[in-house]
Structure 1
Amino acid sequence: MTDTLAWDAYAGQRPERRPVNGRGETTWFNWTQHADHGPGAELLALPDRGSVLDLGCGKGGNAAHLATVGHHTAGVDISPRQLDAARTRWGHLGRLTLHQANALDYLEEPGPDFDAVYSVYGAMWFTEPATLLAVIRSRLRPGGVLAFSQRPPVEGCYGCQASYIPHADDEDPFVVRRWDYEPTVWTHLLYESGFTKVAAQVLPPPLGKRRTGTLLVEARV
């Protein structure tokens, strides 16, 4: 229950996705925290009409893009408030299904396998990696892709960390756990979990931006 309340509070602090991006597109895929920056959905290497899972889909912008271009897309999020926003904007898309659940609970239930699983600043950041990676691998089809992005770790602050989500001026913030690792550690964890062709890097921010870059990780089964 605490995690649900925390992520509902977070949802209320997040802006809606823009109506169009810098290229005038109404849907698009974005791995980074910077607008119109970085690679797109090609990293998922999806076949035509592929099946893909978004862990921590939030308000659904990335999942909606994949559904719009023809992929069968499932989005999972623990926050009812996030999913209400996603259904309001994207509920008309026939290839998009949205599920309110903890990521691990959803993956451990019987269900279809996927051509790709991804997380953009989502459940991969906020779930114990060894457990989550094993379950993801069990739900990926041969040759399937896992890809995720999150902030790079702060130097010297590695492993399980406290992440604070404010929710009222006169109340203590919610506290959730996140896992911060350098690219070399993510690479090791993925190989240990049976993944192959692992690539982990920190994408620099756009030119002229002083904010941090984006950790981007890809792997196959």
Structure 2
Amino acid sequence: MYEFIKGTVEFISPEYIVVENNGVGYQISTPNSFIYSGKLETMVTVYTYHYVREDIMALYGFETREEKRLFTKLLNVSGIGPKGALAILASGEVQQVVTAIENEDESFLVKFPGVGKKTARQMILDLKGKLQDIVPDFFPNLFNADQLPIHTEKNNTAFEEAILALKALGYSEKEIKKIAPELRKEQLSTDQYIKNALKRLLK
């Protein structure tokens, strides 16, 4: 719903900041609200994720789109909610988290609040090999050349957009994961990815 909010930082607490835009103060939970300590009364852009459930409606905010995308990927892991995802990002060791996922290092992942062995294993199963589209720009030295996907950035974006479209259509993670490996090998437009995916899903 909200891609970002641009406004003035009016208040900072340990859990959230308040950004004023056109007379409205938005309460935004962030991984580390105190990074805005030197920005009170100054204009900022906060990339936001609007979280809605039956019992909660909240805005979560990030300095960069890459952080926001990492947050949304973590939310897709069973056992990790917004608070847990924020705690992982707030550690300041996101690069180590990605490395741990790629190396299947459960002992590192269980160090985070609310992450037990089962959740750590789920993080690895769900995210291993799926963060390269974010990490090269965010942490350019993390993956070497032979580990990067063979697709161009444009094709990676098209694939991700297609996956999002399939989820919006109501297909489950389990169903999508079955066809994703073969689908990813192709270099197509978003529309073509969706059409090919639907052919596989409807077989």
What TM-score does the superposition give when structure 2 sets the normalisation length? 0.28
Whichever structure has more helix as a proportion of its residues is 2
Of structures 1 and 2, the one with the larger relative CO (CA 8 A, separation 6+) is 1
Which has the larger Rg? 2
